Amino acid sequence: MDKDADRYRRYLDGDDSGLAEIIDIYNLRLSLYINGIVRNICLAEEIMQETFVKLAVRKPRFSGKSGFGTWLFAIARNCAIDHLRKSSKYTEMPETEGFLLSDEADIEKNYLKEEQKIELHRAMKKLNPDYFQVIYLMYFEELDTAGIAEVMHKSRRQVGDLVYRAKKALRSELERSGFNYEEF
């Protein structure tokens, strides 16, 4: 059993700090993942909070058949899809651009690196939501194919096909915008 599952077990046994630790670890990661589904960061944060409320109030049983993170991302995905079904419409928030500069680092190099990240993020937002999800889960959350299949309710074969098509679509989108992804 992983540490996060132990934290959840502590919470179920009455130690509220276990849930607080889980929220600290996963709140930003879930918000970014859900934003890829609903395409609205404010709504994504609300759905992320709803996910944690479900953990706190309903206290669903974690069976341990998958990793705790995989299980939690599946709950968040289901919350997001339920919200989209209920509202059947959503609006996209305008993108905010920005970067942090380090006093010690080369300013130009940092600027270019941040611009590449922004461009990559823009390209990912243009992808089909399933493509966004599979890329996000694989490369940002480092889930394996089995974990992604469980979160997305797809077979491993379908996930493999999605990964292939998502990479191809992302490469095409990046090339269209003149992005040199090999330097990144």
Q: Under a CB-based contact definition with an 8 Å cutoff, are residues 134 and 161 in contact?
A: no
Buried b vs exposed e over 32-45: b needs ≥16 C-beta within 10 Å?
bbbbbbbbbbebbb
Between the CA atoms of 101, 103, 109 and 111, what dihedral angle is there, to the nearest 10 degrees? Answer: 20
- Which residue did the predictor score with more confidence, 179 or 156? 156
Ramachandran class of 39: left when φ > 0, alpha when ψ lies in -120 to 50, beta otherwise: left
Q: Is the pLDDT of residue 182 over 60?
A: no
3-state secondary structure of 100: coil
Give pLDDT tens digits for 61-115. Answer: 898 888 999 999 999 999 999 998 888 754 444 444 444 434 444 565 666 677 7
Within 10 angstroms of residue 26's Cβ, the number of other Cβ atoms is 21
38/90 Cα distance (integer angstroms): 7
Query: Which CATH topology does 107-176 take?
Result: Arc Repressor Mutant, subunit A (1.10.10)
Q: Which among 124, 161, 166, 167 is positioned nearest to 145, based on CA atoms?
A: 161
**Amino acid (one-letter) located at 70:** T
| 30 vs 137: CA distance, rounded Å | 10
- CATH class, domain 3-87, is mainly alpha
The whole-number pLDDT of residue 69 equals 92
Handedness of CA 41, 46, 52, 55 (dihedral sign): negative
Sign of CA dihedral 133, 139, 143, 145: positive
Instruction: Judge whether 77 and 134 are in contact, CB under 8 Å.
Output: no
Q: Are 84 and 41 in contact (CB under 8 A)?
A: no
DSSP state of 139: I
Domain boundaries, the chain: 3-87, 107-176
> Cα 178 to chain center, whole Å?
26
What pTM did the predictor assign? 0.65
Q: Which amino acid is at 95?
A: E
Higher pLDDT, 120 or 180: 120
Query: Does residue 4 surpass a pLDDT of 60?
Result: yes
150-172 per-position pLDDT tens digit: 999 999 999 999 999 999 998 88
Mean pLDDT of 43-50: 94
Confidence of residue 47 (pLDDT cuts 50, 70, 90): very high
